Amino acid sequence: MDTIKSKYHETLAATVIKNLEKRQMEGYYCPTVEDAEKLAFSFLKDGQTISFGGSMTLEETGMLTALRHDPSIHLIDRSTAKTPDETKKMYHDALSSDVYFMSTNAITTGGELVNIDGTGNRVAALIYGPETVVILAGMNKIAANVDEALSRVHNVATAQNCIRLDKKTPCAITGACADCLSPDCICNQVVITRRSGIKGRIKVLLIGESFGY
């Protein structure tokens, strides 16, 4: 069964990668976390400024830990901020970083990236700013089309993130999206990346496992 699943992941990833290429984004299939981490670090150069957006995938894969322990780079790490103003400055500084790490809430088989954000710093960096954007995503993030991707984000990812963040939203209570406008709503920006204006700026590393929400 594992062999069949691995072959399925490899085949599906090849389809997504082909479609990413049509949209001027680079796609890679990494069977394991170790493969993904090795590839991700191959994009980095000594002395570069690196930043990242909030991501359970980066946490679970150990990518954040690896970045935090790399002395050859300058990491803008918002977890070290001591005040709200310092956090705000780091958000702004991240937009000028050389490489920005993140995951994506969903990705379609057609190669579109679908993201919903609360603060907006993550999708802002995806859209514009950092020279390179490196996205790590488990195969569980793939959806057939934009509609299914949006449904996945609203009904799977957002509810779990609201529970994690202790948000008082309908989805945190019921597990289902209510299309709310509550004070704690984190569905503030909906961004569909259908194409990269700069060829190769966005690099998507598809990992043959499940990570994040």
Q: Which two tokens stand for residue 26?
A: 């680079």
Instruction: Return the exposure string of 68-105: e unless at least 16 CB atoms fall within 10 Å of the residue's CB, then b.
Output: eeeeebebbebeeeeeeeeeeebbeebeebbbbbbbbb
Name the nearest CA neighbour of 152 among 108, 111, 209, 196.
Answer: 108
Which residue, 130, 68, 64, 52, is CA-closest to 98? 130
| Spans of the chain below 70 pLDDT | 1
**Residue 76: DSSP 8-state:** -
- Position 59 scores a pLDDT of 95
What's the confidence (pLDDT) of residue 172? 92
> For 79-118, how does the pLDDT look when each residue is reduced to its tens digit (9 = 90+)?
999 999 999 999 999 999 999 999 999 999 999 999 999 9
* Domain 3-207, architecture per CATH: 3-Layer(aba) Sandwich (3.40)
Report the pLDDT value the prediction gives residue 93, as an integer from 0 to 100: 96
For 75-145, where are the alpha helices, taking DSSP H only?
Answer: 84-94, 121-127
Residue type, 187: C
Question: What's the confidence (pLDDT) of residue 9?
Answer: 95
φ, ψ at 107 (rounded to 5°) = -145, 135
Q: Helix, strand, coil % (nearest 5) of the chain?
A: 45, 20, 35
Report the pLDDT value the prediction gives residue 2, as an integer from 0 to 100: 80
pTM above 0.85, yes or no: yes
